Amino acid sequence: MKKSVFLLSFIIAITALSGQAMAASNTAASKPSPAPAAAAVKQNNPYEVAGIDNAAAFSKYFSKLQKEVKANKKEAVADLVSYPLRVNSGGKSIEIKNKKQFVAKYNQIFTDKVKKKLLAQKEDELFVNWKGVMVGDGEVWIGQFGKKIGVFAINK
Domain layout of the chain by residue ranges: 2-43, 46-155
Is residue 69 within 8 A of residue 106, CB to CB? The reply is no
pLDDT tens digits for range 90-108? 999 999 999 999 999 999 9
pLDDT at 5 over 50: no
- Residue 54 pLDDT exceeds 90: yes
Nearest Cα residue to 128 out of 45, 47, 61: 47
Q: 6-41: per-residue pLDDT in tens?
A: 444 445 545 444 444 444 444 444 444 444 444 444
Residue 68, pLDDT above cutoff 80? yes
Burial class (CB in 10 A: 0-12, 13-18, 19+), 96: buried
The pLDDT confidence band at residue 57, using thresholds 50, 70 and 90, is very high
pLDDT above 90 covers what percent of the chain? 72
pLDDT digits (tens, 9 = 90+) for 75-85: 999 999 999 99
Q: What is the pTM of this model?
A: 0.72
CATH 3.10.450 fits 46-155, yes or no: yes
